[in-house]
Amino acid sequence: MTVSKNTPLLPSAFNALSDLVAGWALTDSTARLEKRLTTPAEEIKAFYDRMLPRAPEALAFLAERRLGALTREEEALLKLMLSLAEMGPAIEWYGTGTYPDAFDARRFPLVVTLPDNQAQGVAA
Partner 1 sequence: MNERASRTPKVTPANLTLKHPELGTGPVPARPYWDPAWYARELDAIFKRAWLCVGRVEQARSPGDFFLKKLPTFDLSVLVARGKDGELRAFHNVCKHRGNHVELRAAGHCVGFTCPFHGWTYGLDGKLAAVPDEKGFHELDKKKLGLTRLPLDVWEGFIFINLNPEPHQTLKEFLGEHGADLEGYAFHLGTAIFEYEGVINTNWKCLVDSFCETYHVPVLHRHSIKDTLAGPENPHGRLIDIRLKGPHRTQSVWGNMNYVPNPVQGLAFQYAPGPSVTSGVVDERSVLPKGLNQTRAPNWSIDVTAFFPNWIIVMGSGMYFTHQMWPLAANKVVWQMRGYLRPATNAAQRFGQENSMVELRDAVLEDCNTLERIQASLDQGLINEFIYHDHELALRHQYYVVKQWVEDYERSTRK
CB of 4 to partner 1, least distance (A): 26
Pick 3 or 110: Cβ nearer partner 1: 110
Helices 55-62 & 72-89 angle (0-180, nearest 10) = 130
Helix (H) or strand (E) holding 50: helix 41-51
Question: Within positions 101 to 120, which residues make up the interface with partner 1, using CB under 8 A?
Answer: 101-103, 105, 107-114, 116-117, 120
User: String of b and e for 28-52 (b: at least 16 CB within 10 Å)?
Assistant: ebeebbebbeebeeeebbebbebbe
Q: Report if residue 34 touches partner 1, rule: CB under 8 A.
A: no
Residue from 5, 56, 71, 76 touching partner 1 (CB under 8 A): that is 56
Residues 6+ away with beta carbon under 8 Å from 82: 26, 29, 32, 116
Query: Which positions touch partner 1 (CB under 8 A)?
Result: 29, 33, 48, 52, 55-56, 59-67, 70, 74, 78, 81-82, 84-89, 91-94, 99, 101-103, 105, 107-114, 116-117, 120-124
